[in-house]
């Protein structure tokens, strides 16, 4: 009997110990725990096959589909390098992000201690928001050296990796370096960190230069990662991915899923009908980077994918590469990525901006880079989220949470000054307006800018986005009343006669308000920046000499570039440059609190008052906060180099002429306010509610 009892006790003990070991292997404080090199190592999430699994609230492994949002470092009045977002702001944002139905936030680089403190404290009292942390590579160094093996690039990247891993474990005291986050990091958010992404959107020149300069770097066999059939660029990624894993494993006994940042421009797929200039660009393939059994977390492939760029998404039939039925070019491309990879694929960026200006066009569904209403932005994000799911991806991270005014875009970059970009919002630049959260600046009445004459009252206001003009008239009727406005900003150009009318001074712009659907802003041909920058591609003769006597028909529309001339390899067809008329005005309410508000709306009538708002860039302001406008393009005439800012000069006033129904023109001088800070309010766009409704009912 004693022997029987002893055996039962032993069996019970084995079962208890076995159960404890089993539980400890799979779950420990929401961690998975395993043995690596004889030591216990934990991880928050793991990769199995082409899926990602995370420990849920019931202490079980659960397949996840990541629904998240990217948070940048930008806000009004500060550049990202100033790292000025406060803990209170982060906490408020986390609350709204969680309410929207997102469970993950992604950041591109080391954040301030306030970010990690806010995340830790938020997760102590709420269902957690999990972190996808990126280790950023120094773009200034990359643009300078174009070879990632360069000592400055590699050394800086190594330091970034160490700082980030120490920071998320609450164990870092990082010294101040201009343009970087720093401080004392004490909040351990490692148990909420499910993924570490390395790198940036690499351009083909960097990949090609790296491969050409480092031909001996053909393989790597590290402690955790190794390569097969790799290029020198892929070997570099493997080395630093391995270093990140080793650093966290040895210092913190934790491992985190690893991914490398990529985008269609450098993807590993074949694009035979990609325009010739893009077709020459080299890519990289993370399938050539593999992990050993002692890396328990696993790897993902990470891509930024938008529906309008690169051009092959408009000119190439993606479905011909698929084994499944075609859907739309965006989803078909996603399916191709999924088809190529054996590991999970994360779409770490996708979205559309609500800017007034447009940068690229999606020819299939109109999910354009710009020109989208807030409602359209929301519906596009919901549709693309479904595309990402249907393509079998492991997650989708919206770009972005907040608008970031400091950003620039290729087709407006030369037109705006680098200085001051954090204190004004260029609504013509699409990159500034991807957010679900907007920053609305306060309007200010400009001094000495009101006039009552000819039964017409003129008032002028300005803010960080627009010059706003209000015209009041008894019984105003836009179908019957024809308004004309003239703007004089520079003494270097202008017309002083228009349609046989003598003007008070040389005017640079003419605004014709002729009903809801036929109103447009025009520019003196001599002061047309589109002609100067783009005219040679379109064989437009440059107006070297000013013509001060013009008719309305001789004025130029205000246009914005969309695409340069391209050649399609398969058909050898040359596609002409693309542009659109951005000076055409859209009728609709400009009251941001109205459900009918759209960012593209320019003018509206209510209570006998016509209100017109004009984006600063449309009047050739390169930095309105300091009264900087584009200077004379042709005196002296210098051939412009792409990407180089145009010369500017400062003005202190605008002369405005206004007439209604052909009556005498009233003139008013508008003194400009300069500013170095602005007052603003946060506002959730209508897109936020649309995404929230979709994601919470998913």
Query: According to the model, what pLDDT value does residue 445 have?
Result: 64
451 within some domain: yes
pLDDT in tens, 181-210: 999 999 999 999 999 999 999 999 999 999
Which backbone phi and psi does 291 adopt, to 5 degrees? -120, 155
Query: According to the model, what pLDDT value does residue 21 have?
Result: 36
Q: How many Å apart are CA 58 and CA 54, to the nearest integer?
A: 11
Please indicate, yes or no, whether residues 670 and 692 belong to a single structural domain of this protein.
Answer: no
8 within some domain: no
Give which of 582, 615, 357 is closest to 468, Cα–Cα.
615
12 within some domain: no
Name the pLDDT band for 454 (thresholds 50, 70, 90): low
Name the pLDDT band for 638 (thresholds 50, 70, 90): confident
Q: Write out the E strands in 483-630.
A: 483-488, 495-498, 501-507, 509-513, 520-523, 549-550, 556-557, 559-563, 566-568, 573-575, 578-581, 603-606, 609-615, 621-623, 628-630
- Tell me the Cα Rg of the chain: 29
Give which of 29, 30, 41, 27 is closest to 294, Cα–Cα.
41
Structure tokens that stand for 411 in this block? 């087709």
Query: According to the model, what pLDDT value does residue 446 have?
Result: 64
pLDDT reading at 518 higher than 80: yes
Name the pLDDT band for 278 (thresholds 50, 70, 90): low
Query: According to the model, what pLDDT value does residue 539 have?
Result: 81
Please indicate, yes or no, whether residues 157 and 179 belong to a single structural domain of this protein.
Answer: yes
- The secondary structure of 424-453 as a DSSP string is S--TT-GGGG--SEEEEEPPEEEEEEEEEE
416 within some domain: yes
pLDDT in tens, 136-191: 999 999 999 999 999 999 999 999 999 999 999 999 999 999 889 999 999 999 99
Query: According to the model, what pLDDT value does residue 15 have?
Result: 39
183 within some domain: yes
Please indicate, yes or no, whether residues 592 and 521 belong to a single structural domain of this protein.
Answer: yes
Higher pLDDT, 356 or 542: 356
Query: According to the model, what pLDDT value does residue 637 have?
Result: 84
pLDDT reading at 22 higher than 60: no
Higher pLDDT, 514 or 23: 514
pTM: 0.93
Please indicate, yes or no, whether residues 339 and 450 belong to a single structural domain of this protein.
Answer: no
Name the pLDDT band for 11 (thresholds 50, 70, 90): very low
Angle at 649 between CA 647 and CA 654, to 5 degrees: 130
Structure tokens that stand for 557 in this block? 């529309």
Higher pLDDT, 419 or 277: 419
Please indicate, yes or no, whether residues 164 and 290 belong to a single structural domain of this protein.
Answer: yes
What is the arithmetic mean of pLDDT over 644-655?
94
666-669: long-range pairs with CB below 8 Å, 24+: 666/451, 666/453, 666/454, 666/456, 666/458, 667/504, 668/449, 668/450, 668/451, 668/458, 668/460, 669/448
589 within some domain: yes
Query: According to the model, what pLDDT value does residue 6 have?
Result: 47
Please indicate, yes or no, whether residues 362 and 399 belong to a single structural domain of this protein.
Answer: yes
Please indicate, yes or no, whether residues 449 and 429 belong to a single structural domain of this protein.
Answer: no
Please measure the distance between the N-terminal and C-terminal CA atoms of the chain and give it in whole angstroms. Answer: 60
In this structure, the dihedral spanned by the alpha carbons of residues 188, 189, 190 and 195, taken in order and rounded to 10 degrees, is -150
- State whether residue 335 is helix, strand or coil: helix
CATH of the domain at 327: 3.20.20.80
pLDDT reading at 280 higher than 70: no
Query: According to the model, what pLDDT value does residue 571 have?
Result: 79
14 within some domain: no
Please indicate, yes or no, whether residues 408 and 464 belong to a single structural domain of this protein.
Answer: no
Name the pLDDT band for 28 (thresholds 50, 70, 90): very low
The total number of structural domains in the chain stands at: 2
When the pLDDT of each residue in the chain is averaged and rounded to a whole number, the result is 91
Please indicate, yes or no, whether residues 295 and 433 belong to a single structural domain of this protein.
Answer: yes
pLDDT reading at 3 higher than 70: no
Out of 73-87, 481-495, 526-540, pick the least confident: 526-540
pLDDT reading at 12 higher than 60: no
Which residues form the domain of 411?
30-437+683-696
pLDDT reading at 671 higher than 80: yes
pLDDT reading at 271 higher than 80: yes
pLDDT in tens, 219-262: 999 999 999 999 999 999 999 999 999 999 999 999 999 999 99
Q: What percent of the chain has pLDDT over 70?
A: 93
Out of 430-444, 563-577, 638-652, 679-693, pick the least confident: 563-577
- Count other Cβ atoms within 10 Å, centred on residue 76: 23
Q: Are 691 and 378 in contact (CB under 8 A)?
A: yes
Out of 438-447, 524-533, 623-632, pick the least confident: 438-447
Name the pLDDT band for 455 (thresholds 50, 70, 90): confident
Please indicate, yes or no, whether residues 180 and 244 belong to a single structural domain of this protein.
Answer: yes
Please indicate, yes or no, whether residues 462 and 386 belong to a single structural domain of this protein.
Answer: no
Give which of 322, 335, 307, 341 is closest to 392, Cα–Cα.
335
Please indicate, yes or no, whether residues 377 and 483 belong to a single structural domain of this protein.
Answer: no
376 within some domain: yes
pLDDT in tens, 565-595: 888 887 788 888 899 999 999 999 999 989 9
């Amino acid at each position: 009997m004693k022997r029987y009892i002893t055996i039962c006790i032993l069996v019970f003990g084995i079962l208890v110990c076995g159960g404890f070991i089993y539980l400890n292997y799979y779950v420990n404080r929401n961690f998975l725990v395993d043995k690596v090199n004889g030591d216990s190592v934990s991880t928050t999430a793991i990769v199995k096959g082409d899926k990602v699994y995370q420990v849920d609230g019931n202490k079980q492994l659960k397949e996840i589909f990541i629904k998240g949002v990217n948070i940048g470092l930008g806000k009004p009045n500060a550049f990202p390098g100033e790292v000025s977002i406060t803990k209170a702001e982060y906490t408020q944002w986390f609350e709204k992000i969680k309410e929207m139905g997102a469970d993950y936030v992604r950041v591109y680089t080391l954040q301030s201690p306030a970010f990690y403190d806010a995340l830790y404290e938020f997760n102590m009292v709420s269902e957690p928001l999990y972190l996808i942390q990126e280790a950023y590579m120094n773009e200034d160094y990359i643009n300078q050296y174009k070879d990632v093996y360069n000592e400055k690039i590699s050394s800086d990247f190594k330091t970034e990796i160490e700082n980030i891993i120490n920071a998320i474990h609450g164990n870092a005291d990082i010294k101040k370096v201009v343009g970087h986050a720093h401080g004392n990091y004490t909040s351990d958010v490692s148990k909420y960190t499910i993924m570490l992404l390395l790198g940036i959107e690499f351009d083909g020149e960097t990949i090609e230069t790296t491969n050409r300069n480092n031909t001996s770097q053909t393989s790597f066999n590290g402690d955790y990662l190794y390569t097969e059939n790799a290029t020198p660029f892929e070997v570099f990624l493997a080395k630093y991915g391995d270093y990140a894993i080793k650093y966290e494993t040895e210092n913190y006994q934790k491992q985190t899923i690893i991914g490398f940042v990529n985008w269609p421009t450098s993807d590993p797929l074949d694009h035979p009908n990609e325009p010739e200039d893009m077709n020459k660009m080299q890519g990289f393939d993370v399938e050539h980077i593999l992990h050993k059994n002692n890396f328990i977390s696993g790897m993902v492939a990470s891509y930024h994918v938008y529906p309008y760029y690169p051009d092959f998404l408009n000119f190439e039939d993606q479905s011909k590469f698929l084994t499944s039925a075609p859907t739309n070019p965006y989803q078909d491309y996603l399916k191709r990525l999924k088809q190529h990879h054996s590991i999970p694929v994360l779409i770490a960026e996708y979205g559309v901006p609500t800017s007034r200006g447009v940068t690229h066009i999606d020819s299939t569904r109109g999910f354009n880079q710009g020109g989208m209403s807030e409602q359209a932005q929301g519906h596009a994000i919901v549709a693309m989220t479904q595309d990402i799911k249907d393509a079998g991806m492991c997650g989708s991270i919206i770009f972005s949470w907040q608008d970031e005014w400091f950003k620039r875009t290729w087709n407006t970059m030369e037109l705006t000054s680098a200085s001051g970009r954090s204190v004004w919002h260029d609504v013509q630049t699409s990159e500034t307006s991807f957010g679900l959260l907007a920053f609305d600046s306060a309007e200010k009445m400009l001094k000495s800018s009101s006039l009552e004459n000819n039964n017409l009252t003129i008032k002028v206001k300005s803010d960080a986005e627009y010059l706003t003009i209000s015209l009041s008239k008894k019984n105003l009727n836009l179908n019957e009343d024809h308004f004309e406005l003239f703007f004089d900003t520079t003494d270097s150009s202008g017309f002083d006669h228009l349609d046989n009318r003598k003007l008070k001074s040389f005017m640079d712009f003419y605004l014709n308000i002729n009903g809801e659907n036929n109103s447009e802003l025009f520019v003196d041909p001599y002061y047309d920046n589109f002609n100067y920058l783009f005219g040679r591609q379109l064989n437009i003769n440059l107006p070297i000499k000013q013509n001060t006597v013009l008719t309305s028909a001789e004025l130029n529309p205000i246009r914005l570039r969309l695409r340069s001339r391209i050649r399609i390899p398969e058909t050898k067809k040359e596609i002409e440059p693309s542009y659109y008329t951005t000076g055409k005005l859209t009728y609709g309410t400009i009251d941001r609190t109205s459900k009918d508000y759209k960012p593209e709306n320019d003018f509206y009538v209510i209570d006998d008052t016509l209100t017109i708002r004009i984006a600063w860039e449309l009047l050739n302001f390169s930095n309105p906060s300091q009264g900087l406008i584009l200077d004379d393009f042709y005196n002296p005439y210098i051939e412009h180099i792409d990407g180089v800012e145009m010369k500017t000069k400062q003005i202190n006033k605008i002369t405005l002429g206004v007439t209604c129904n052909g009556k005498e023109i009233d003139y008013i001088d508008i003194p400009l306010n300069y500013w170095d800070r602005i007052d603003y309010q946060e506002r959730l766009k209508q897109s936020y509610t649309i995404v929230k409704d979709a994601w919470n009912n998913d």
